[in-house]
Amino acid sequence: MTITTGQSAPHVLSANDEPLTPLRFLQRSAEVFPRKTAISYGARTYTYAGFAAEAERLAEVFAAEIEPGDRIAYLSANTPELLIGHFAVPLAGGVLVAINSRLSRAEIEYILEHSGARILVIDAELLTSIGDIVATVPSVETLVEVPDEEFGQPGGHVEVGQISYADYLTRAGEAVSWHIEDERAPISINYTSGTTGKPKGVVYTHRGAYLNSLGEIFHQQLVPSSVYLWTLPMFHCNGWCTPWAVTAAGATHVALRAVRADPIWDLIDGLGVTHLCGAPTVCSVIAESPRAHVVERPLRITTAGAPPSPTIIETLQELGITVVHVYGLTEVYGPFTICEPQEEWEGLPAAERARLLARQGVGMVQAESARVVDADGNDVPADGITIGEIVLRGNNVMKEYFRDHRATAEAFRGGWFHTGDLGVMHTDRYIELKDRAKDIVISGGENISTVEVEQAVVSHDAVLEAAVVGRPDDKWGERPVAFVVLRAGHEVDAEELRIHTRSRLAAFKVPDRFVFLAELPHTSTGKVQKFELRSRAIDLAAA
């Protein structure tokens, strides 16, 4: 028996083998929870039936304009349209390219050109700021403008080769199928930050996205009554696969255009938010807000992107907020390991429990166990001291780097994905990240973990955030420099911080300089831009 689809080939039914795809999650939730609120965004709401209907309608239009496997790019804030696009694009047989909305025009052009995207769906505010990009990127044939009237972006900037989102939905198209032929076909391409060269296109598959979504459901404890707040950018690793995971659970998505403390607390209190994700900077925004208070409904924050300090974990726990610490990379669909709490930790002092929870942990249910290896690929001793490279493998490792066979082969050498992250393996088989290979400070032949130094600095009550980098030193080769942001209303000088840090670290690890800043430079996903701080540190050394 076959089903005719709007894609390239008929789907052959099998009683015991259906290709895995996260498209099934929306199809099921629309059947099971048709009248339930699926998306909330200001005054706008979508039921699950409405969510599926718009995804299907948009997919019909896309499918009429592309060939299977063609790329469709989105440049958007966390709006309903980007969430719908996570289903509409693959439903049309296309591959989603969700672009970092804070990139420069040149960076956006590079990604569009490299991916060969044929359609660009763009937020009206971003279209205003970057101008007519169709004229400079030959592959882009259609530009679809998405207005956001409620938040001051009415649209109306369409020119030749452009069309409004509403008008685009009225174009003709044939019915599409929710089934797919090949579960290992690409579903999306996510571009890395490109801090060491041009951004790489990380290819996700339907199968990998499906399995990673199930892992997110399990570890985030998502259920139909969950209310998920979008503080994590959907363009970042496809929002760690939570566009698909929250939908699979039949929970409610709460879209959020920008991460600000007041709107976050408004939604926590007003809509009863139960879950959110983000980098440690998001945790700080919530914890440091003047409106911070003990939550009335259980709230679970999943954090990654940089090791959270034990201090911020302890602060959030005092507000009744559960912090779930995960670790991963773009190349592994977002989270790969989780710091799984143990019952015996409950009886420990709060600071010690927070220290254990700040580790990167063990493989998630959909992942294999992580390893820490030496330069020859051998496991380092599980002593919590010996540093090696973290390597990963499993169903939620990327398919490949798009159009880059050399980089793919290098990343997959020895049958494992090499992260470039340095860490240790503890006796309980929990890994702990110590640094990026390029961030480790080597002083007098000794390795200094910048993460360890940062956590020592942040443990001071006056410090909100700290980042440590190396600067050149004629005698020692390198020495650490700490860039520090203080909490509002607090004061501390460099000497006091030096004494405080020395009480927690060996003398050679204590930074030579403490530089106070109003804020640290961050990427759009919350990671500290250490390359910028290294440049400042070099200037300090030369002064």
What is the spatial distance between Cα 359 and Cα 417, in angstroms, rounded to a whole number?
A: 20
Residue type, 317: Q
Which pLDDT belongs to residue 313? 84
SS3 content of the chain, % helix, strand, coil (to 5): 35, 25, 40
How close are the terminal C-alpha atoms of the chain, in Å? Answer: 76
How does DSSP assign 243-296, residue by residue? HHHHHHHT-EEE--SS--HHHHHHHHHHH---EEEE-HHHHHHHHHSTT----S
Q: Are 490 and 455 spatial neighbours (Cβ–Cβ below 8 Å)?
A: no
Residue partners of 476: CB distance under 8 A and separation at least 6: 443, 444
Question: E strands within 131-177?
Answer: 142-146, 162-164
What is the spatial distance between Cα 316 and Cα 430, in angstroms, rounded to a whole number?
A: 23
Which pLDDT belongs to residue 147? 93
Q: Which whole-number Å values give the CA distances from 98 to 111, 143, 364, in the listed order?
A: 10, 14, 25
Which pLDDT belongs to residue 8? 44
Which pLDDT belongs to residue 5? 36
What is the spatial distance between Cα 119 and Cα 500, in angstroms, rounded to a whole number?
A: 55
Q: What is the pLDDT of residues 502-543, one digit of tens each?
A: 888 878 889 999 999 999 998 766 678 887 898 888 887 666
Which pLDDT belongs to residue 524? 61
Which pLDDT belongs to residue 1? 29
Q: Are 467 and 453 spatial neighbours (Cβ–Cβ below 8 Å)?
A: no
Which pLDDT belongs to residue 106? 84
Q: Are 373 and 406 spatial neighbours (Cβ–Cβ below 8 Å)?
A: no
Which of the four CATH numbers 3.20.20.20, 3.40.50.720, 3.40.50.12780, 3.40.50.1240 does domain 259-436 have?
Answer: 3.40.50.12780
CATH 3.30.300.30 intervals, the chain:
446-542
Which pLDDT belongs to residue 197? 62
Q: Which whole-number Å values give the CA distances from 426 to 62, 263, 372, 380, 381, in the listed order?
A: 50, 40, 10, 10, 8
What is the spatial distance between Cα 369 and Cα 432, in angstroms, rounded to a whole number?
A: 13
Residue partners of 173: CB distance under 8 A and separation at least 6: 6, 57, 59, 60, 61, 62, 63, 64
Which pLDDT belongs to residue 448? 84
Phi, psi of 53 (to 5 degrees): -65, -40
Which pLDDT belongs to residue 7? 44
- DSSP-derived 3-state class of residue 353: helix
**Edge to edge, what strands does the sheet with 37-41 contain?**
44-47, 37-41, 252-254, 227-229, 275-278, 299-303, 321-329, 334-338, 362-363
Element (H, E) at 408: helix 405-411
CATH 3.40.50.12780 intervals, the chain:
2-12+21-29+38-207, 259-436
Long-range pairs for 533-540 at CB < 8 Å and ≥24 separation? 533/467, 533/469, 533/481, 533/483, 534/469, 534/470, 534/471, 536/483, 537/469, 537/470, 537/471, 537/481, 538/471, 538/472, 540/471, 540/481, 540/513, 540/515
Residue type, 519: E
Spans in the chain with pLDDT lower than 70? 1-12, 156-161, 194-197, 306-307, 444-446, 524-526, 541-543
Q: Are 220 and 275 spatial neighbours (Cβ–Cβ below 8 Å)?
A: yes
Tokens of 363: 């493989």
Which pLDDT belongs to residue 4? 33
Q: Are 22 and 28 spatial neighbours (Cβ–Cβ below 8 Å)?
A: no
Which of the four CATH numbers 3.40.50.970, 1.10.10.10, 3.40.50.12780, 3.10.180.10 does domain 2-12+21-29+38-207 have?
Answer: 3.40.50.12780
What is the spatial distance between Cα 325 and Cα 98, in angstroms, rounded to a whole number?
A: 25
Q: What is the CATH number of domain 446-542?
A: 3.30.300.30
